Amino acid sequence: MATIRLGDKAPNFTAETSTGTINFYDYLGNSWGILFSHPADFTPVCTTELGTAAKFKDEFDKRNVKIIALSVDGKQSHNNWIKDINEVENTTVNFPIIADEDRKVSDLYDMIHPNADDTLTVRSVYIIAPDKTVKLILTYPASTGRNFHELLRVIDSLQLTAYHKVATPANWKNGEDVVVSPAITTEEAKSIFKKEVRELKPYLRYTADPTA
Ligand code: BEZ
> What was the pLDDT predicted at 118?
87
This prediction's pTM: 0.96
The rounded Cα 94 to chain-centroid distance in angstroms is 16
| 150 to 21, 45, 136, 185: CA distances (angstroms) | 30, 17, 12, 30
Give phi and psi for 104, each to the nearest 5: -60, -50
- 3-state class of 39 per DSSP? coil
Percent of the chain's residues with pLDDT above 90: 97
Q: How confident is the model over 63-82, as pLDDT tens digits?
A: 999 999 999 999 999 999 99
Q: Choose which residue among 36, 46, 146 to substitute to test ligand 1 binding: the one with the highest number of ligand atoms within 8 A of its C-beta.
A: 46
Q: Is the CB of 144 under 6 A from ligand 1?
A: no
> What was the pLDDT predicted at 1?
62
Rounded CA-CA distance 49/89 in Å is 10
Q: Which amino acid is at 202?
A: P
State yes or no: is 196 an active-site residue. Answer: no
Q: Is the CB of 143 under 6 A from ligand 1?
A: yes
SS3 content of the chain, % helix, strand, coil (to 5): 30, 25, 45
Using the atom order of ligand 1, give the atom closest to the CA of residue 46: 2
Q: How confident is the model over 89-142, as pLDDT tens digits?
A: 999 999 999 999 999 999 999 999 999 998 999 999 999 999 999 999 999 999
Centre of ligand 1 from the C-alpha of residue 143, in Å: 6
